[in-house]
């Protein structure tokens, strides 16, 4: 927004290999929709590196629909999304949902946007030149840095348990918060004190292969039918033998 103040921003949902963000840059001098040029991208990358170096904390807050409209008063796509969130039926990415989403934002430095989160602690937690991010089963976060033989540890993911998990308060979007009934969160390292371990890549996507499960279901069904037929045949044979003896 600093380099393109006229830009209109839409949504930026996470996807399998990262995320994307929709921008409307208006029309160019030729009357056609404007797109980012290589020079634009170079300037954006330079600014992003400055943001990363600034180690700005990510600040979360929940807002009402009216507060959100005031915050994004000059962003028509955001206003449309806020109206949908206020009415219910869609989430912050525009997807249909049966739950009532919470309207929340995250802010770092001078930029604030609608976001469910969560995020890292600050913008510098992942180095700007990191090639990849890996999380082991105990929650330790490593990044691969060019020129370094060993990955660099940059953080630790903890798992929260509760004395009474059934007492957690549901706030929508499959999210829960602590309540008086659940008690405060008890944080700890994955794998310790009966906490489960982490599996990277299985947070946002299901770890079930539908095709494989369908094949296994068909195999199980056929095995059941074969066993049923064997039992039926054996039963009929015994009945025939019993009648011959009479």
User: Does residue 81 form part of some domain?
Assistant: yes
Asked if residue 95 and residue 138 are part of one domain, the reply reads: no
Asked if residue 90 and residue 169 are part of one domain, the reply reads: no
Q: What does the pLDDT profile of the chain (246 residues) look like in tens digits?
A: 788 888 999 887 777 777 788 899 988 888 888 999 999 999 999 999 999 999 999 999 999 999 999 999 999 999 988 888 888 777 766 677 766 678 899 999 999 999 887 788 899 988 888 888 899 999 999 999 998 889 999 889 999 999 999 999 887 667 788 899 999 999 999 988 888 888 887 655 555 666 777 778 888 888 888 888 888 888 888 887 777 766
User: Taking the CB of residue 90, how many other CB atoms lie within 10 A of it?
Assistant: 15
Gyration radius of the chain over CA positions: 27
Residue 39 is classified by DSSP as H
Instruction: Provide the strand spans (E) within 36-128.
Output: 59-62, 104-108, 111-114
CA 124 to CA 57: how far, in whole Å?
Answer: 9
Asked if residue 141 and residue 86 are part of one domain, the reply reads: no
103 lies in which domain range?
Answer: 8-114
Number of domains in the chain: 3
Asked if residue 86 and residue 142 are part of one domain, the reply reads: no
Asked if residue 14 and residue 106 are part of one domain, the reply reads: yes
Q: How far is CA 239 from the centre of its chain?
A: 61
Asked if residue 178 and residue 142 are part of one domain, the reply reads: yes
User: Does residue 196 form part of some domain?
Assistant: no
pLDDT of residue 119: 81
Phi, psi (deg, nearest 5) at residue 74: -105, 20
pLDDT of residue 25: 92
pLDDT of residue 186: 93
CA 60 to CA 197: how far, in whole Å?
Answer: 27
Asked if residue 240 and residue 167 are part of one domain, the reply reads: no
Buried b / exposed e across 213-243, counting CB within 10 Å, b at 16+?
Answer: eeeeeeeeeeeeeeeeeeeeeeeeeeeeeee
Asked if residue 17 and residue 107 are part of one domain, the reply reads: yes
CA 160 to CA 189: how far, in whole Å?
Answer: 9
**How many Cα atoms sit within 13 Å of 194 on the Cβ side?**
4
Contact of 141 with 157, CB cutoff 8 Å: yes
pLDDT of residue 120: 85
On whether the pTM is more than 0.85, the answer is no
Sort 39 into a burial class: Cβ within 10 Å, 0-12 / 13-18 / 19+: exposed
């Amino acid at each position: 927004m600093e380099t393109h103040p006229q830009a209109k921003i839409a949504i930026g949902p996470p996807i399998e290999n990262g995320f994307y963000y929709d921008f409307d840059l208006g029309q160019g001098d030729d009357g056609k929709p404007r797109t980012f040029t290589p020079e634009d991208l170079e300037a954006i990358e330079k600014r992003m590196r400055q943001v990363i170096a600034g180690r700005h904390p990510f600040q979360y807050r929940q807002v009402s629909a009216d507060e959100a409209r005031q915050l994004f008063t000059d962003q028509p796509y955001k206003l449309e999304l806020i109206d949908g969130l206020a009415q219910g039926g869609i989430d912050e990415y525009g997807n249909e949902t049966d739950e009532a989403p919470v309207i929340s934002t995250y802010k770092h430095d001078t930029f604030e946007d609608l976001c469910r989160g969560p995020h890292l602690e600050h913008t510098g937690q992942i180095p700007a030149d990191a090639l990849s991010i890996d999380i082991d089963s105990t929650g330790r976060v490593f990044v691969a840095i060019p020129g370094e033989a060993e990955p660099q540890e940059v953080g630790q993911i903890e798992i929260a348990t509760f004395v009474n998990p059934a007492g957690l308060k549901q706030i929508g979007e499959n999210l829960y918060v602590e309540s008086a009934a659940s008690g405060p969160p008890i944080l700890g390292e994955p794998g310790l004190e009966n906490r489960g371990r982490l599996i990277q890549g299985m947070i946002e996507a299901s770890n079930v292969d539908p095709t494989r499960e369908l094949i296994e279901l068909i195999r199980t069904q056929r095995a059941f039918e074969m066993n049923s037929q064997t039992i039926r045949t054996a039963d009929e044979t015994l009945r025939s033998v019993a009648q011959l003896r009479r």
